[in-house]
Structure 1
Amino acid sequence: MHPNQATLDKFYAAFARLDSDTMATCYAADAQFDDEAFSLRGHREVTGMWHMLCDVTKAKGADVWKLSYSGIEADARTGKSHWEADYRFSATGRMVHNIIDGEFEFNEQGLIKRHRDRFNFWAWSRQALGTPGLLLGWTPFLRSKVRAQAAANLQKYLAQRKT
């Protein structure tokens, strides 16, 4: 197993346990993360997002949290993963089953420098938001609104966390 594959396995095993401290050790100082809700730059923002998501899940949804992962592959430069998460979306209390594919780039020290998760936003929004997600989940309007709210939530969390 390539060491970068072991890094991804460590990351997802920690995520399954909601261990954001261990997840944070997998990222480079200049890490970048992008998905349908977040576009983050730097270790503080990227790992802050994972701390926030894990903390919220522990507080409001640990009873239903489940993460499975597969297809972990990596070499000296890149990696990929497939993961699925079952959780309660904290803003609405609705249950979500999200299916995600991750793409990674590693630095020379074997830390994640770029992480891109892709999932079907419309499918996610139908589950997480209900009728508004069903009707508007395909629109740039709702995607922008979700991104803005996610960014605001993260900034508030980071301000309170002060790390």
Structure 2
Amino acid sequence: MHLNHKTLETFYTAFAVLDADTMASCYAADARFDDEVFSLRGHQEVAGMWRMLCSVTQAKGRDVWRLTYSGLAADAQRGRAHWEAYYRFSTTGRMVHNSIDGEFEFNAAGQIVVHRDHFNFWRWSRQALGAPGLLLGWTPMLRSKVRAQAQANLQKFLAAR
């Protein structure tokens, strides 16, 4: 098994049990993360996002949290994974099943330098937000609002640490 495959295994095993510190250890100092909600630069922001999300889930949804992953593959430079998250969205209390495909780039030490997650934002917003997500989840306006709120929450979380 390649070192980078082990990194992905470590990351998702830790994620399944909401171990944000172990997840953070998988990232390089200059890591970048992008998905439909976050666009983060540097270890502090990337690790902070996972710490925030794990903390919120432990506080407001540990009873329903479940993560499965499959299709881990990695070579000396790149990797990929598929993961499914089942959780209660803390803002609305609504149940979400999100299906995500991740793409990774690694440094020579086996740390994640680039992490891109892809998921259907409209599908997510319908589950997480209910009627507003159903009606507006496909619009750039709602996506921008969700991104702005998520970034504000992250900055508040990082400032409190």
Q: Do they superpose with TM above 0.5? A: yes
| TMscore range, shorter length | over 0.9
Partner residue in 1 for 2:117: 117
Structure-1-length-normalised TM-score: 0.98
Aligned residues: 161
Q: How does 1:1-163 map to 2 (within 5 A)?
A: 1-161=1-161
Distance in 1, matches of 2:91 and 2:152, equals 13
Structure 1 letter corresponding to 2:76? A
Distance in 2, matches of 1:87 and 1:28, equals 28
Distance in 2, matches of 1:15 and 1:4, equals 16
Distance in 2, matches of 1:76 and 1:25, equals 18
Q: Deviations over 1:113-159 (max 9, x none)?
A: 00000000000000000000000000000000000000000000000
Ranges of 4+ aligned residues in structure 1 off by more than 6 Å: none
Distance in 2, matches of 1:17 and 1:71, equals 19
CA-CA distance at 1:108 after TM superposition: 1.1
Distance in 1, matches of 2:110 and 2:12, equals 16
Distance in 2, matches of 1:7 and 1:106, equals 9
Q: Deviations over 1:49-107 (max 9, x none)?
A: 00000000000000000000000000000000000000000000000000000000001
Instruction: Name stretches of at least 5 consecutive residues in structure 1 with no aligned partner.
Output: none
Structure-2-length-normalised TM-score: 1.00
Structure 1 letter corresponding to 2:94? R
| CA root-mean-square deviation | 0.3
Q: Deviations over 1:2-54 (max 9, x none)?
A: 11001000000000000000001000000000000000000000000000000
Distance in 1, matches of 2:139 and 2:101, equals 22
Distance in 1, matches of 2:36 and 2:148, equals 11
> SS state of the match for residue 138, structure 2?
coil
Distance in 2, matches of 1:158 and 1:72, equals 30
Instruction: Name the % identity.
Output: 75
Structure 2 letter corresponding to 1:10? T
